[in-house]
Amino acid sequence: MTYAQRTLTYGRDDEHMIYEMSVISQYEDGSVFNCVTMETMTAEDVVNLPPTQPLPFCGGGERAVIRDLKRNAKAALKNGKTENLAPLVEW
């Protein structure tokens, strides 16, 4: 079970969360939870997202968010887990 799936089942998991942008949360195993659609994605799913995947409530910053999610997911797949590798973005 991924951290995103655990969040869906048991509630918010700040201890393992490494990235949060709008309604998207990413965890150290690279998995992602969307709190609006209540959907989860594994790190493998995230890496395979198209660069123009619509993400609700990202205010037009979908490409930047997807780039950040993919960067973290690739590192998690390579190393088993990761910390946030995305640069700080001022929206």
pLDDT digits (tens, 9 = 90+) for 19-58: 998 889 999 999 999 998 899 999 999 999 887 777 766 6
Measured CA to CA, the distance from residue 18 to residue 30 in angstroms comes to 9
| Structural domain that includes position 64 | 3-78
Q: Is residue 87 situated within a structural domain? A: no
CB atoms within 10 A of CB 76: 26
pLDDT digits (tens, 9 = 90+) for 68-78: 999 999 999 99
The answer for residues whose C-beta is within 8 angstroms of residue 40's C-beta and 6 or more apart is 2, 4, 5, 7, 8, 31, 32, 33, 34
State which amino acid sits at residue 52. Answer: T
- Do the beta carbons of residue 8 and residue 2 sit within 8 Å? no
Q: Is residue 34 situated within a structural domain? A: yes
Q: Is residue 22 situated within a structural domain? A: yes
Total number of domains constituting the chain? 1
Q: Is residue 83 situated within a structural domain? A: no
Measured CA to CA, the distance from residue 91 to residue 5 in angstroms comes to 28
Record the pTM. 0.86
